[in-house]
Structure 1
């Protein structure tokens, strides 16, 4: 009885706090506070993300002795992120953003430790398993973009997404440029040089998870759910319409993000290997990938405001044009030119950014609070699977043909965004 009384008292206290945050004027206050916490966590999360992007393929190539399967690390990371996205979506829907994001970041930290252990032991099976677990950290970096939208107004959503993403830039850009430093440190403690960046990833993901676990209170998703419940009670006639959501918007948002993810992952995965074949060193690889990752996230604040003002569909079309330019430059630009490679990979990152924020905003616009987190998790599963396909196929295409063929195919694939937008326009009419 005593335990039941304490449990009831705890629940009443929790309910009282949630009711306090749902009061008029408090929503925007909590919205800003949530963004601040997400920004802080993403500063570290971005650094953890960059390790797999930069040296994952090179580490696998070194351990396997062939580049044919160099796309497997990216595939395993994205498959791991697919499972993590699914689980985080369900966990968030039931327990809130705090539980989902903290679990994802901490799992990513454990995966990074496993990769270091595999490199030291020379164990390929452990490497593959650890890369799969590491994918949870990369999934959480993306899932965090939804946290800012929970309490945002409709015309703030793309901007909220962009703020969460732009904060990833600092860690994500710093990570690749610390390859040399972390490599030297790794060698000094008896760890293979290419595993060095994963030492940084292990610490960064763990810190990001602890920030979310300790600071993200009250939970923005739970507060938003309370607000939605109150609005539904006040307007019962709107309940059916709200619960149904907009299936077309969900399909369209998912299609945009899936296409941009396939193109970005495929070209990005093979760029480090393409560069080493043409005499570029690890520091130069780090510079190119660092600029690429920066272009994925840094323009977010500007592009998010554009998407809120100009519209989701128009900016998704712009994404296709930018990705096409990136593919053509990567395919036909001189392989020994750093300027050409930097420009191509920067455009690749920018095109992905436009597609991801446009698609994410469409998903949030088209879902109700009752199913939003689960839908977001499911869509991110599809995005991750698309990335895994791009990662596997990229290595095979380059092994059988060339990097130029891969880049050209990616650029042409971006043209599929045009009929998708046309279909959306016709369906709307």
Structure 2
């Protein structure tokens, strides 16, 4: 595997550490600072809002200026976001803290292009493995993020959560230096006469529709349940350390499978791996409905992570069969925009949905969406038989 892919995996880990840290503490910060229940998950919603806003511009910017320029700009915004979020915690201002998470969200949105940059750095036969390798960087993030939240509680007197952002600033600084040193693909040169299809024509492809739906719903369901979990655990008298460990194992479930997801795709096809992901998501819901003890949350969130991994990596790989080289930025950009819009809606609905519906109904709400993905992917068996052939080494 090229050194660029390994470097992108490390950069992904550093960037995702910030995402996981925010998941561990943002809902609790919102609960502490919000004046209304509906605003509890506002910081996470702002994080995803920043991510959404960044997706389309990031894809097109990198096509014109190159991956390195785009990733450097993204990391600089992330550094600014950590400082702003810290000021919000010190001032006990939910608005300022949410502005900081918004800027961090922009950085995370730019960083979502790491997996696409990895595709450009290796041969087609290695694509599924390259995607998996970059996503596997999240394993390191699963260790750094929650532990940083726990260990840094006494770093700043103003807030038990403020110290984590000093560490986060350092992580983003290391990521910035890594990107500067890493050999990344040059900007693509497109021929003027190349025809680029409209969004309507692109989405007439059942394959693209299934890939985007898999990414959207897999990510949206994961964020919905994951964001609600710290609040549900707090309601059932679980302490912060227990919550942080549940989130940590959830993130391990999200990223540890990445070491072999690419091999599974090559052996069993993308379609089957996504269907396994849907099954894992349904099992997660079943466990969550069976009780509110620590081990229920632990196993439910672990299965939720595995289900996300299979649906998200599978969707990313499936997406690569749906566009021509000239359409790359357009399709990748709209995919990221739609996927993270679904994630933002999940995060925004999580707090209020938990209060209005309760933990059980919140989980039941996810079932029909998971079944919709399974149906769209299942239909590809007859409509796109070439998928399995295309994935052979």
Q: TM-score, normalised by structure 1?
A: 0.83
Cα distance in 2 between the residues matched to 1:289 and 1:261: 16
Aligned with residue 89 of structure 1, among 51, 59, 66: 59
Match of 2:375 in 1: 419
How large is the Cα RMSD of the aligned pairs? 2.5
* Aligned equivalent of 1:58: 28
Q: Indicate how the Cα distance of structure 1 residues 409 and 204 shifts in structure 2: closer, same or farther if over 3 A, else same.
A: same
Please point out which of 332, 354, 358 is paired with 1:398: 354
Distance 1:386 1:245 in 2: 20
Q: Could you list the per-position Cα deviations for residues 123-174 of structure 1 after superposition, in whole angstroms to 9, with x for gaps in the alignment?
A: 2322222221110232234321112111333332111001001112112332
Q: Counterpart of 2:391?
A: none
Q: Which runs of 5+ in 2 are unaligned?
A: 386-393
Per-residue deviation, residues 396-417 of structure 1 (Å, max 9, x unmatched): 2211121121122224421111
Unaligned runs of 5+ in 1: 1-30
Query: Which of residues 130, 143, 165 in structure 2 aligns to 1:198?
Result: 165
Contact 2:59 2:333 in 1 (8 A): yes
1:273, distance to aligned residue in structure 2 (A): 0.9
Mark the CA change 1:249 to 1:101 in structure 2 (over 3 Å): closer, same or farther.
farther
Residue 40 of structure 1 corresponds to 10
Quick one: which of 271, 275, 284 aligns to 2:233?
275
Q: What is the DSSP-based 3-state SS (H/G/I as helix, E as strand, rest coil) of the residue aligned with 2:365?
A: helix
Cα distance in 1 for residues equivalent to 2:202 and 2:356: 45
The answer to whether the 8 Å contact 2:37/2:352 transfers is no
Work out the CA distance in 1 between the residues paired with 2:125 and 2:367. 31
TM-score using structure 2 length: 0.90
The runs of at least 4 aligned residues of structure 1 exceeding 6 Å deviation read 239-246
Determine which structure has the larger helix proportion and give its number: 1
Number of aligned positions between the proteins: 382
Change (3 A) 1:40 1:163: same
Q: Distance in 1 between matches of 2:378 and 2:9?
A: 36
Deviations 1:235-257 (A, max 9, x none): x9xx7799998944332211110
> Using the alignment, how far apart are the partners of 1:208 and 1:324 within structure 2?
36
Aligned partner (choices 216, 219, 222) of residue 261 of structure 1? 219
Tell me how far 1:373 sits from its aligned partner. 2.9
Distance (whole Å) between structure 2 residues aligned to residue 221 and residue 300 of structure 1: 27
Structure 1 residues 42, 80: closer, same or farther in 2, change over 3 A?
Answer: same
Residues 51 and 340, structure 2, Cα contact 8 Å, conserved in 1 = yes
1:170 is paired with a residue whose SS is helix
Shift of 1:185: 1.0
Q: Structure 1 CA distance, aligned partners of 2:34 and 2:134?
A: 37
**Contact preservation (8 Å) 1:105, 1:205:** yes
Instruction: Confirm or deny: 8 A CA contact 2:226 2:301 kept in the other structure.
Output: yes
Mapped pair 1:353 → 2:309: yes
Match of 2:288 among 317, 330, 333: 330
The structure number with the bigger radius of gyration is: 1
Q: Give the distance between the partners of 1:399 and 1:240, measured in 2 at CA.
A: 50
Residue matched to 1:111? 81
Q: Which of 375, 384, 391 is residue 428 of structure 1 equivalent to?
A: 384
